[in-house]
Structure 1
Amino acid sequence: MSESRNRSFEDLVAEGVAVPTEGWDFSWFEGRATEARPSWGYAVSLAGRLAEARAVLDVQTGGGEVLAFALGRAARVPARVAATEGWAPNTAKATQVLRPYGVVVVASPEDAPLPFADGAFDLVSSRHPVRPHWTEIARVLRPGGTYFAQHVGPASVFELIEYFLGLQPEEARTARHPDRERAEAQAAGLEVVDLRAERLRMEFHDIAAVVHFLRKVIWMVPGFTVEAYEPRLRALHERITAEGPFVAYSSRHLIEARKPD
């Protein structure tokens, strides 16, 4: 990113601040940040499962982009598809994005019970839920139904988090561990039939990408503002300019769990 290296800290930060954060469209990062993708291809795999389902729920759908991608590539769109989202700007965007597919988007807080009847769905999906509510997932699945999701794994992007917040406690490092989630799913009465995990290289090529990322993924550095972290941001800008991209590693796991007949 030679162009970014020639731009001032102030200009780059202003650009990172100006980019809208609604939804889960990360196309703005093209050319200024990269992240390797998991080998299993979640959205394409979800498209295949949608074609076999009758009633589907996508939990914490964000701006609806991933579900729309999968529906657009499914050989058959299920008769009933619903989605939940807890953040108002994303709820509005998901409603717009998913309307062409007949998806009902329900505003529902992330920590609230799912607003659907017992056994209402034969497929529940989610990409990067804040926290999977296993008892609720099990409740709304019909017997024989499946939960198919890609989760954020343990210590994801901690290189960036710890740059700003310092060394994190062991409890934070082991949270979201796939083995823990397997046990939680089983405790809710689900049978885990597939569980795969990968760590994936990320590169931030300028400080604008870092600023926008921390504004968009708000749980990385809670309460992040440019003003509060200006000295660390400036130091990171100088580091990237002198040494090249800041490297971090995301953590992802694919999980498939079935509700017994």
Structure 2
Amino acid sequence: MSQSAHSTQSPTSFEELVAEAEAAPTEGWDFSWFEGRATEARPSWGYARAMGERLAKAEAALDIQTGGGEVLNSADRLPPLTVATEGWPPNVAKATALLRPRGAVVVASPEDAPLPFADGTFDLVTSRHPVGPQWAEIARVLRPGGTYFAQHVGPRSAYEVVEYFLGPQPEGQSADRHPDRERAGAEAAGLEIVDLRAERLRMEFYDIGAVVHFLRKVVWMVPGFTVDQYRDRLRTLHERIEAEGPFVAHSARQLIEARKP
């Protein structure tokens, strides 16, 4: 999401803002549409830069749930063997167009399916915001001495948005994303934790269009979200933003680096 300050946009009415957000494409992990409409603080560790440094030294790398391939493509150098998986067909097409010219192969693979690779294929596995890490599969495809380096979404991320639309959520709803649970999952698969850090980061939505686009793009936040279903809640939130300023939420991010002995 954009880190810029709010700038004046042309659409201003509730209906205009919502219509514009509904028309915007949602494939890939390009968040430039939010420029001037929403901001999210960045984690201190700089995932893309750190990922790029590791890719530059790797021989064979796998990027899991690559989205539209934008994060992987940000690396200056890709290893001789670079493969990415992605499950959503529009993203598979987008990632292929972006990464094929760089010699990377994109494999269509559902996020919950076993990884379609032989044991010990990769010395580096990366992922930015996977739906859920398949620790046993990650460990299986890593070579001995290989590394899993990723940024995960932490527990109760952007729950101010979720709970505005769905009401209070059970405390254990996203407990499997807790750092302690992630550590346990990695270690159970035989990986050693090298680094594990967590941060909560401020998000601001400056207009209702940004909220609509966010919920259309990050579909697991409010499952089955449609404007028609939540029109009344959206209109109330629009009026609140107009009167009080940005709608504030907090994302949760975790950096995890694990090594296969």
Does TM, scored on the shorter chain, surpass 0.5?
yes
Q: SS where residue 175 of structure 1 aligns? A: helix
Are 1:39 and 2:40 counterparts?
no
Question: 1:158 maps to which residue?
Answer: 159
Q: SS where residue 168 of structure 1 aligns? A: coil
Question: 2:3 maps to which residue?
Answer: none
Cα deviation per residue 1:46-81 (whole Å; 9 max; x = unaligned)? Answer: 1110111000000000000000002xx23xx31100
Cα deviation per residue 1:25-61 (whole Å; 9 max; x = unaligned)? Answer: 0001010000000000000001110111000000000
Question: 2:63 maps to which residue?
Answer: 58
Q: SS where residue 81 of structure 1 aligns? A: strand
Are 1:202 and 2:207 counterparts?
no
- Asked whether the equivalents of residues 22 and 89 of structure 1 are also in contact (C-alpha less than 8 Å), the reply is yes
Question: 1:141 maps to which residue?
Answer: 142
Pick aligned residue for 1:14 from 10, 13, 19: 19
The alpha-carbon distance between structure 1 residues 158 and 222, as it changes in their structure 2 partners (threshold 3 A), is same
Rounded Cα–Cα distance in structure 2 between residues aligned with 1:4 and 1:66: 28
Question: 2:109 maps to which residue?
Answer: 108
Q: SS where residue 253 of structure 2 aligns? A: strand
- Asked whether the equivalents of residues 4 and 206 of structure 1 are also in contact (C-alpha less than 8 Å), the reply is no
Query: What is the identity, as a one-letter code, of the residue corresponding to 2:66?
Result: T
Rounded Cα–Cα distance in structure 2 between residues aligned with 1:185 and 1:6: 47
Moved over 3 A (4+): 1-6
Query: What is the identity, as a one-letter code, of the residue corresponding to 2:171?
Result: E
The alpha-carbon distance between structure 1 residues 5 and 229, as it changes in their structure 2 partners (threshold 3 A), is farther
Rounded Cα–Cα distance in structure 1 between residues aligned with 2:7 and 2:145: 54
Give the CA deviation at 1:100: 1.7
Query: TM-score w.r.t. structure 2 length?
Result: 0.96
- Asked whether the equivalents of residues 83 and 103 of structure 1 are also in contact (C-alpha less than 8 Å), the reply is yes
- Asked whether the equivalents of residues 5 and 241 of structure 1 are also in contact (C-alpha less than 8 Å), the reply is no
Rounded Cα–Cα distance in structure 1 between residues aligned with 2:86 and 2:11: 40
Query: What is the identity, as a one-letter code, of the residue corresponding to 2:149?
Result: F
Are 1:49 and 2:54 counterparts?
yes
Identity %: 75
CA RMSD of aligned residues (A): 1.2
Give the CA deviation at 1:2: 7.2
- Asked whether the equivalents of residues 7 and 36 of structure 2 are also in contact (C-alpha less than 8 Å), the reply is no
Q: SS where residue 20 of structure 2 aligns? A: helix
Rounded Cα–Cα distance in structure 2 between residues aligned with 1:240 and 1:2: 15
Cα deviation per residue 1:75-102 (whole Å; 9 max; x = unaligned)? Answer: xx31100000000010000001111211
Query: What is the identity, as a one-letter code, of the residue corresponding to 2:183?
Result: R
Q: SS where residue 50 of structure 1 aligns? A: helix
Rounded Cα–Cα distance in structure 2 between residues aligned with 1:7 and 1:24: 26
Q: SS where residue 29 of structure 2 aligns? A: coil
**Number of residue pairs aligned between Structure 1 and Structure 2:** 256
Give the CA deviation at 1:5: 9.5
Are 1:120 and 2:121 counterparts?
yes
Rounded Cα–Cα distance in structure 1 between residues aligned with 2:10 and 2:156: 29
Which residues of structure 2 form unaligned runs of 5+?
A: 1-5
Give the CA deviation at 1:174: 2.4
Rounded Cα–Cα distance in structure 2 between residues aligned with 1:2 and 1:132: 37
- Asked whether the equivalents of residues 23 and 65 of structure 1 are also in contact (C-alpha less than 8 Å), the reply is yes
Give the CA deviation at 1:4: 5.0
Question: 2:187 maps to which residue?
Answer: 186
Rounded Cα–Cα distance in structure 2 between residues aligned with 1:244 and 1:123: 44
Q: SS where residue 186 of structure 2 aligns? A: helix
Query: What is the identity, as a one-letter code, of the residue corresponding to 1:66?
Result: V
- Asked whether the equivalents of residues 30 and 70 of structure 2 are also in contact (C-alpha less than 8 Å), the reply is yes
